[in-house]
Amino acid sequence: MRKRDSLSVAGLVALFVTASCATGDTGSPTNQAQDGSPGASSREGGGGGAPGSDAPGTSTGSPTGDDGSASADDATPPSGGADADDGGSPDEDADASDAASADASAPSRDAGSPTHDASASSPEAGARPPLDAGTGSPDAGGAACKRGIASNAAPSSALAPTASSPGVSWWYNWAIGGSGGAPGIEFVPMVWGSSTAKSALPAGARYVLGFNEPNFKSQSDLSPQQAAAAWPDIQAHAKAAGIPLVSPAVNFCGSASDSSGCTTSTITDPYTWLKDFLAACAGCEVDAVAVHWYNCDLPSLKAYIDGNTGTGGGLQGFVQFGKPIWLTEFSCGGGSSVADQTSYMKAAVPYLEGNTHVARYSWFSAGPIPNAELMNGDGTLTDLGKTYVSLPESCRN
What one-letter code names the amino acid at 96?
A: A
Question: Average pLDDT over the chain, rounded to whole?
Answer: 75
pTM (2 decimals)? Answer: 0.75
Q: What is the mean pLDDT of residues 84-90?
A: 37
Handedness of CA 265, 266, 272, 273 (dihedral sign): negative
Contact assessment for residue 256 and residue 80, using Cβ atoms and an 8 Å cutoff: yes
Give the three-state DSSP class for 329.
strand
Under the banding of pLDDT at 50, 70 and 90, the label for residue 396 is low
Q: Is the pLDDT of residue 189 over 50?
A: yes
How much is the pLDDT for 143?
A: 63
The one-character DSSP state at 198 is T
Q: Which of 123-137, 202-216, 258-272, 346-360 is predicted with the least confidence, judged by mean pLDDT?
A: 123-137
Domains of the chain: 1-397 (3.20.20)
Instruction: Write b or e for each residue in 29-45: b if 16 or more Cβ atoms lie within 10 A of its Cβ, otherwise e.
Output: bbbbbbbbbbbbbbbbb
Work out the pLDDT band at 283, boundaries 50, 70, 90: confident
* β partners of residue 381: 375
Beta strands in the chain (DSSP E): 39-41, 86-88, 147-150, 170-172, 186-187, 208-209, 245-250, 288-293, 325-330, 358-364
Residue 236's pLDDT band (boundaries 50, 70, 90)? very high
Q: For 165-185, give one letter per residue: b (16+ CB within 10 A) or e.
A: bbbbbbbbbbbbbbbbbbeeb
pLDDT tens-digit map of 309-359 = 999 999 999 999 999 999 999 999 999 999 999 999 999 999 999 999 999
Which segments of 273-355 are extended strands (E)?
A: 288-293, 325-330
Segment 345-392, tens digit of pLDDT: 999 999 999 999 999 999 999 999 999 999 999 999 999 999 999 999
**pLDDT higher than 80, residue 202:** yes
Give the tens place of pLDDT for each residue, 90-100.
333 333 333 33
